[in-house]
Chains A and B, each alone.
Chain A
Amino acid sequence: MSTQPLRPYTGIRIIDLTRELGSYATRLFADLGAEVIRVESKQGRADRQKPPCMPGLDSHQFGGVPYAFLNANKKSLSLDLASTAGKTVLADLISHAQIVVYEAGGKADVTLADILAVPGARIVTTVSYFGLTGPYSQYVGTDLIAQSLGGIAWLSGEPDKPPLQLAGQQSVFVTSLYAAAATAIALWDFEATGHGHVLDVSAQEAIAHSLQNAIQVYDLEKRISSRGGEGVRDATEAAYACKDGYVFLAAPLSLPASWNGIIQWMTEEGFDGVARLHEPDWADRATRCKAAMRSEFKALFERFIAGKTKQEMRDNALKRKLVMAPVSKLADLQEDPQLVYRHYFQQVAMPGFDHTIAFPGAPYRLSEPLWQIEHGAPALGQDSEAVLAGLAASQNAAGGQN
């Protein structure tokens, strides 16, 4: 271990009692060297069972796909958390930790009161759908519920259809990112002053904090932002079908290079639709935000690009300085030339697999090799003995100093 470089969170021990909303937060610390210990019951924590399961693997032992992503680099200790002995071990672990991240709610194995009762100062970050206080504090949440009560679903979709959830369980990430950043700042203070802190992070608040300018539009101008950007978003901002998929284009008048570049391109190719775009209504910002303009542009632009591939579109975006890009499938990402060039994806060895699995790489690049995925998510209890031996060593060391 002595040859390991010092990483930003080397020496920081985090007790991870998260199930979904907070699991990415502790993963971020683990990726930078923190020792993140999942303390689970003998049956394993509920998050291991979150679907989908991994092909051919028992989710009780190995967890499912969400578990695998959110818990890479962590350790697992399983205990009988209902027994006095188990509770004592958890309290000992907490007493030797600088951070506890706790997910409140009905499925929790331990109570917040138990955690706060452990002597000593540290950071206790609680994560929940609606916060620990208030009339919704006992409400049951899911990603769809958080996206709805937080306000992002209202803003997504089309005007004559229902509001739309964002894919990929985004409330997990939004909540965890705020939780992680706030926990890091609280730790900074704890290390400077010795003062512990309790953070009460709400997924609903985190999403409501991330609604672009919808809050200010209502507060200052009393307009309610709505899905489809009706009356707000320019007619040229959408996904359009091309020969082999879709591209996203933004060519409003506020991005003149993009708008003029599209006109220029159509002109060069002798596209007959370009004449229409020279008419005066296309020079008026407010008119361009109307639904009729949107559908007209869609028909016109899709006719222009019907024979063009995503790659041709991207090449032209680069050449002509258009704000335009392919709408990538997940299947496209590992062939994205930029991501290939930057060696973005990481191959990770995982318990239960005889081959490595591609993981998204670092969310930020540091100029020293401090971010790493060292191993996949832990099998249930795989680190129990090592963690308990480490705890005993810490206690002996502490005893020796006395």
Chain B
Amino acid sequence: MFPQFLKGIRFADLTWAGAGPFSTKLFSDFGAEIIKVESGSRVDPVRAGGPFKDGVAGINRSGYFASRNTGKKSLAMNLKSQKSRDILYDIIRTSDVVSNNFGPGAMERLGLGYDEVKAIKPDIIYLSMPMYGEDGPLANLLGVGMTISAVTGLMWQTGYQGEGPIGPGTHFPDHAANPYHAAFAIMAALRHRRATGRGLKIDLSQVESTINCMGLPFLEYAMTGQERERMGNRSPFHAPHNIFACQGTDDWCAIAVETDSQWQSLCRVAGLSELADDPALADAAGRLQQVERIEQAVTLWTRQHGAKDVMERLQAVGVPAGMVMNSRHLMEEDEQLRHRGYWQTLDHPEIGESQFTSPPFLLDGERVNLRRPPLLGEHSEDLLQQLLGYSAAKVQALRQEGVLE
């Protein structure tokens, strides 16, 4: 289905790169009109960054860009020109939300600070999402997603036991914590405006947002004064709880025993009767004391089987187990995602057919269908003529002057 729950809501969306566009994409997928304001001379880094169809670079060929911008419209302008600012003001007058994820001060330099925008659209909802917030002694610290992991405790806590911090292998906070806290805040602001007539400014510090996702270990620290050491894939409370090497090369299965009965089931399936009968291992405290002995025994068994086989045998008896999936496994082999119709194929003028992840839920039993991402500047003329009522001649002049890119 193509839900139109948010039809009639318009964004002047200046977000770029990863976290911002992933947030506004949710709104276009539900029928809002997202006008992606971009520049051909200072191009969105994910348009330039790839991956590209068949490895051939091109401004409209990036899969990363495509995955963050489904269903949006693209207006490409030279944002430094006064005339593009006038166009943007005209768009903002008809918009509900202005969104950006630039560093502090960048919107002000474009003449698009909150006060200026509010002056032309008093009930505007205005989202900023700089790394560390808009003001303060570190507001100007430059960052990427991994920097956010670093300053929030996520990187410190993520790593192998007895070794240094590693952190997530991706710019993890860009891909869930920050875009979806932002989306939730925008929905709250839309409700607030509906109830009161007032807009809101949303200052989302990506660090402050991400620390909430470290709330569980943080609160333990705040209550006890004790901070746990890195544990790799182990748990301080349960054993065995790890990722085990399986039969193939780079073939892994996670096993997370959380109850004593799951322990007995694991032993039965893996043929570990000696361990099953050992009263010292009957509860989690005992198993944690001998975790290495247990893991060695489990590994001897997992090494003889493929990861999928290990998962299926253990899940069949109610033991939490999961093969560690890579992108190929997910796209080509995972039966669950295939069964639920998770992958969508969209056609695109330059990329051709490619695969997209669906929003991660079924809505009334169906998938939310996506619409393809825009080419750079694909909707510039249409937006100016149809939304703003500019004449064809005026639009032509703006293009010749280099205002439209």
Contact across chains for B164 and A198 when beta carbons are under 8 A apart: no
A300 within 8 A of B: no
Distance of B295 from chain A, by nearest CB (Å): 11
Q: Which residues from 343 to 365 on chain B have a C-beta closer than 8 Å to any C-beta of chain A? A: 351, 354-355, 357-365
Task: Name the interface residues of A311-347: CB closer than 8 Å to any CB of B.
Answer: 314, 317-318, 321-333, 336-339, 341-342, 344
Given contacts A28-B184, A216-B66, contact A148 B243 (CB under 8 A): yes
> Shortest distance in angstroms between A141's beta carbon and chain B's nearest beta carbon?
6
A280 beta carbon closer than 8 Å to chain B = no
Q: How far is the CA of A216 from the CA of B365 in the complex (A)?
A: 26
- Which single residue of chain B is at the shortest CB-CB distance from A362? B208
Instruction: Kindly report which residue of chain B lies nearest to residue A237, judged by CB atoms.
Output: B146
Interfacial chain B residues near A144, Cβ < 8 Å? 233, 235, 241, 243, 254, 256, 320, 322
Q: Does A130 contact B (CB under 8 A)?
A: yes
Question: Nearest chain-B residue to A147 (Cβ)?
Answer: B254
* Alpha-carbon gap, A359 to B324, bound state (A): 33
B5 within 8 A of A: yes
A186 interface residue (CB < 8 Å to B): yes
CB-CB under 8 A from A247, the residues of chain B are 150
**Do A248 and B155 have beta carbons less than 8 Å apart?**
yes
Question: Is A146 interfacial (CB-CB < 8 Å)?
Answer: yes
Count contacts on B: residues with CB < 8 A to the other chain. Answer: 146
Contact A220 B322 (CB under 8 A): no
Q: Decide if B136 touches A342 in the complex (CB within 8 Å).
A: yes
**Assembled-state Cα–Cα distance A346/B189 (Å):** 22
Closest residue of chain B to A6, judged by CB? B195
Instruction: State how many angstroms separate the Cβ of A369 from the closest Cβ of chain B.
Output: 11
Cross-chain contact A65 with B219 (CB below 8 angstroms): yes
Given contacts A157-B160, A213-B63, A224-B327, contact A339 B207 (CB under 8 A): yes
- Most central of B180, B322, B323, B359 by chain A CB within 10 Å: B322
- Among A146, A317, A330, the residue within 8 A (CB) of B153 is A330
B389 contact set on A, CB distance < 8 A: none
Which residues in B have their C-beta under 8 angstroms from that of A96? none
Assess A168 versus B245: contact at CB under 8 Å? Given A200-B362, A219-B63: no
User: B133 interface residue, CB < 8 Å from A?
Assistant: yes
Q: Contacts A330-B227, A365-B133: A325 and B147 contacting too (C-beta < 8 A)?
A: yes
Question: In the assembly, what is the distance between CA of A130 and CA of B55, in Å?
Answer: 33
At the interface with chain B, which of A78-86, A172-180, A380-388? A172-180
Distance (whole angstroms) from the CB of A125 to the closest CB of chain B: 8
Task: Let me know if A185 and B5 touch, CB within 8 A.
Answer: yes
Report A-chain residues with C-beta under 8 Å of the C-beta of B236: 51-52
Task: Type the 1/0 row for B130-154, where 1 means its CB is closer than 8 Å to any CB of A.
Answer: 0011011111111110110111111
A155 close to chain B: CB less than 8 A: yes
Interchain CA distance A335-B337 in the complex, whole Å: 43
Residue contact A69 to B215, C-beta cutoff 8 Å: yes
B204 at the interface (CB under 8 A from A): yes
Verify B322–A146 contact, CB threshold 8 A: yes
Within 8 A of A (CB), among B188-230: 188-192, 195-196, 198, 200-205, 207-209, 211-224, 227, 230
- A156 contacts B156, C-beta separation under 8 Å: no
Q: Is the CB of B188 within 8 A of A181?
A: no
Secondary structure at the A interface, as helix, strand, loop or mixed, is mixed
B153 lies within 8 A of A328 (CB): yes
Instruction: With a 10 A CB-CB cut-off, give which of A142, A144, A223 has the most chain B CB atoms.
Output: A144
B297 within 8 A of A: no
- Given the interface contacts A163-B252, A359-B215, does A215 sit within 8 Å of B200 by beta carbon? no
A165 within 8 Å of B (CB atoms): yes
Residues of B with C-beta under 8 A to A250: 144, 146-147
Contact partner of A9 (CB less than 8 A), chosen from B141, B191, B211, is B191
Q: How far is the CA of A402 from the CA of B235 in the complex (A)?
A: 56
Residues of A within 8 A of B6 (CB): 185, 188
B3 contacts the other chain (CB 8 A):
yes
A142 touches B256 (CB 8 A): yes
A331 in contact with B146 given A337-B138, A364-B181 (CB within 8 Å): no
Assembled-state Cα–Cα distance A149/B133 (Å): 34
Chain B residue nearest to A318 (CB atoms) is: B141
Asked whether B85 is an interface residue with its Cβ less than 8 Å from the other chain, the reply is: no
Q: Write the nearest CB–CB distance from A217 to chain B, whole angstroms.
A: 4
**Which listed segment binds B: A35-43, A204-212, A391-399?**
A204-212
Q: Are the C-beta atoms of A326 and B151 separated by less than 8 Å?
A: yes
Given A145-B254, A167-B158, are A328 and B151 also a contact pair (CB < 8 Å)? yes
Q: Does A278 contact B (CB under 8 A)?
A: no
Q: Across the interface, do B52 and A197 meet the contact criterion of CB distance under 8 Å?
A: no
B315 close to A (CB within 8 Å):
yes
| A136-167 contact mask (Cβ, 8 Å, vs B): 1 or 0 | 11011111111111111111111001111111
**Which A-B residue pairs are the 4 nearest by beta carbons?**
A216-B63, A167-B157, A205-B360, A177-B180
Q: Could you write out 14 A-B pairs with CB less than 8 Å apart? A: A8-B192, A65-B219, A68-B219, A135-B339, A144-B243, A151-B327, A157-B160, A163-B324, A181-B26, A205-B340, A205-B357, A211-B327, A239-B164, A342-B208
Interface residues of A (CB under 8 A from B): 6-9, 24, 28, 32, 51-52, 54-55, 65-66, 68-70, 130-137, 139-158, 161-170, 172-174, 177-182, 184-186, 188-189, 192, 197-202, 204-206, 208-221, 223-229, 237, 239, 241, 246-248, 250, 254, 257-258, 314, 317-318, 321-333, 336-339, 341-342, 344, 357-368, 370
Beyond the given A54-B223, A329-B227, A367-B202, please list 11 additional residue pairs across the A-B interface where CB-CB is below 8 A.
A142-B256, A145-B256, A158-B160, A158-B166, A162-B244, A167-B230, A174-B176, A212-B174, A213-B67, A327-B151, A333-B153
